[in-house]
Amino acid sequence: MNTVIVGASAGLGRAIAERLAADGHALYLIASDAQDIEALVADLGIRFSIKVSGESLDHLQAGGGNLVGAGSVSSSRGRRTNSVYAAAKSGLETYFAAMRHYMAGSRCRVQFYRLGYIQTRMTFGQRLMFPALKPEQGADAIVKNLGRDLGAVYLPWWWWGITTIIRFLPWPIFKRLNI
Amino acid sequence: MKRVFASLDRHTVHECDYDEPDRYRELLSMKPGKPLIGRGAGVSYVAASFGEGVTSIGMGRFNRILALNAAERWIEVEAGITLGRIFEFLTGRGLCLPVQPGHPHITIGGCIAGNVHGKNQFREGLFGEHVRSLRLFHPLHGMLDLSPEQNTGLFDLTIGGFGLTGLIVSARIALAPLPSAAMQVSHVPVGDLTEAFAKLAELKASHDMVYAWLDLADRSHPGRGYIVAATADPASEPALGTITARDLLTASRIPRLFNDLTLPIINRIYRTMGTRQTGPRRVPLDAILYPAVGKERYFDAFGKPGFIEMQILVPENAVAAFIPRVLALVRKHGCAVALTTLKAFRGKPHLLHYTGAGFSFTIDIGNDPAALRMLAELDEINCELGAATAIMKDSRLSPAVARRQYSGYDAFKQQLLTFDPGHLFTSDLSRRLELHAS
Q: ipTM score here?
A: 0.86
Q: What angle do helix axes A11-22 and A34-48 make, rounded to 10 degrees?
A: 20
- Model confidence pLDDT, tens digit, residues A36-66: 999 999 999 999 999 999 988 777 777 777 7
Domain ranges of chain B: 182-396
CB contact under 8 A, B78 and A42: no
| Pairing assessment for the beta strands A108-115 and A151-155 based on DSSP bridges | parallel
CB-closest option in A9, A35, A46 to B65: A46
Counting Cα atoms < 13 Å in the Cβ hemisphere of B156 gives 13
Residue A39 contacts B where some CB pair is shorter than 8 Å? yes
Interface of B with A (CB under 8 A): 22-25, 61-62, 64-68, 78, 89
A contacts of B62 (beta carbons < 8 Å): 39
Q: Which chain B positions have a beta carbon within 8 Å of A14's beta carbon?
A: 22
Q: What is the mean pLDDT of chain A?
A: 88
Residue A3: predicted pLDDT: 80
B64 vs A11, A32, A43: nearest CB:
A43
Residues of B in contact with A11 (CB under 8 A): 22
Q: Is there a contact between B64 and A42 if contact means CB atoms under 8 Å apart?
A: yes
Would you call B67 and A36 a contact, using CB atoms and an 8 Å cutoff? no
Contacts of A37 in chain B (CB under 8 A): none
Could you say which residues of chain B have pLDDT below 70? 238-241, 251-252, 438
Residue B296 vs residues A90, B12, B83, B257: alpha-carbon distances, Å? 51, 18, 16, 14
C-alpha distances (whole Å) from B272 to each of A144, B226, B291 are 83, 10, 18
Across the interface, whether the CB atoms of B67 and A46 are under 8 A apart is answered: yes
pLDDT confidence bin for A118, thresholds 50/70/90: confident
- Does residue A10 sit at the B interface (CB-CB below 8 Å)? yes
pLDDT of residue B380: 97
Asked if A49 is an interface residue toward chain B (Cβ–Cβ < 8 A), one would say no
Is the Cβ pair A46, B25 closer than 8 Å? no
Cβ contact (<8 Å) for A9 and B68?
no
Contact A42 B65 (CB under 8 A): yes
For an interface test with B, the pick among A9, A36, A41, A56 (most B C-beta atoms closer than 10 Å) comes out as: A36
Domain residue ranges in chain A? 2-61, 65-174
CB < 8 Å to B23, chain A = 9-10, 32-33, 36
Q: Which residue of B has its CA nearest to A40?
A: B64
Fold (CATH) for A65-174: Rossmann fold (3.40.50)
CB contact under 8 A, A10 and B22: yes
* Homologous superfamily of domain range B182-396: FAD-linked oxidases, C-terminal domain (3.40.462.10)
Test B64 with A11 for CB contact under 8 angstroms: no
**Who among B25, B64, B67 is closest to A33 (CB)?**
B25
Cβ A111 vs Cβ A99: under 8 Å: no
Q: Give B89's contacts in chain A (Cβ within 8 Å).
A: 47
- Residue B90 distance to chain A (closest CA, Å): 10
Distance from CA of B126 to the nearest CA of A (A): 27
CB contact under 8 A, A39 and B66: yes
**What is the Cα–Cα distance from A63 to B430, expressed in whole angstroms?**
45
Give DSSP secondary structure letters for B137-204: EETTTEEEEESSSSSHHHHHHHTTSTTTT-EEEEEEEE-EE---SEEEEEEEEESSHHHHHHHHHHHT
Count residue pairs from A and B with Cβ separation < 8 A: 35
**CB–CB contact B24 A33 (8 Å):** yes
Which pLDDT belongs to residue B438? 63
Q: Which CATH superfamily is domain A2-61 in?
A: NAD(P)-binding Rossmann-like Domain (3.40.50.720)
Query: What is the C-alpha to C-alpha distance for residues B194 and B320, in angstroms, rounded to an integer?
Result: 8
Label each residue of chain A as H, E or C. CEEEEECCCCHHHHHHHHHHHHCCCEEEEEECCHHHHHHHHHHHHHHHCCCEEEEEHHHHHHHCEEEEEEEEHHHHCCCHHHHHHHHHHHHHHHHHHHHHHHHCCCCEEEEEEEECCECCCCCCCCCCCCCCECHHHHHHHHHHHCCCCCEEEEECCCHHHHHHHHHHCCHHHHCCCCC
pLDDT score recorded for residue B240? 61
- Largest separation between any pair of C-alpha atoms in chain A: 61
Given a contact cutoff of 8 angstroms between Cβ atoms, the answer to whether A17 and A27 are in contact is yes
- Chain centroid to Cα A43, Å, comes to 28
